[in-house]
Amino acid sequence: MLAALSDPTRQQMVAVLSRERLNVTQLTERFSLSQPAISHHLRILSTAGLLVQERQGRERLYRLDTKCCQGLADQFRKFMSQCCANAKCC
């Protein structure tokens, strides 16, 4: 998840897809990248569980998987909180 979100392009994609449901073509228009590059990033974000696909006719709309996002964000928060709590004891 962290690796998926460590790329600036993918961070922007997550932000954009949190506001709108877009297909690959639409995303390709917004980012100055080729369609395969966008597909590649979508794949990485999807594999990390951050996105979900919705088939709509011949298009595939991507959007944020909020449940999963919250879960992952929470997991990360816990890791960091635990580390910070440990550090307090030193």
Partner DNA sequence: TTAATAAATCGAAATATATGAATATATCAT
Partner DNA sequence: ATGATATATTCATATATTTCGATTTATTAA
Tokens read off for 54? 């919705």
Q: Which range of residues in 29-37, 39-47, 82-90 is near a second copy by CB under 8 A?
A: 82-90
Q: Could you tell me which residues come within 8 angstroms of residue 64 by beta carbon, excluding any fewer than 6 positions away?
A: 14, 17, 18, 50, 51, 52
Q: Which range of residues in 17-25, 29-37, 39-47 is near a second copy by CB under 8 A?
A: 17-25
Half-sphere exposure at residue 61, Cβ-oriented, CA atoms within 13 angstroms: 14
With binding defined as CB under 8 A, does residue 18 bind a second copy? yes
Residue 87's binding partner out of DNA, a second copy, none, with CB under 5 to 8 Å set by partner kind: a second copy
- Residue 56: Cβ-neighbour burial (10 angstroms; 0-12, 13-18, 19+): exposed
Q: Which range of residues in 26-34, 37-45, 65-73 is near a second copy by CB under 8 A?
A: 65-73
Q: Summarize as ranges the residues that interact with a second copy (CB under 8 A).
A: 2-3, 5-6, 11, 14-15, 18-21, 63-64, 66, 69-70, 72-73, 76-77, 79-84, 86-88, 90
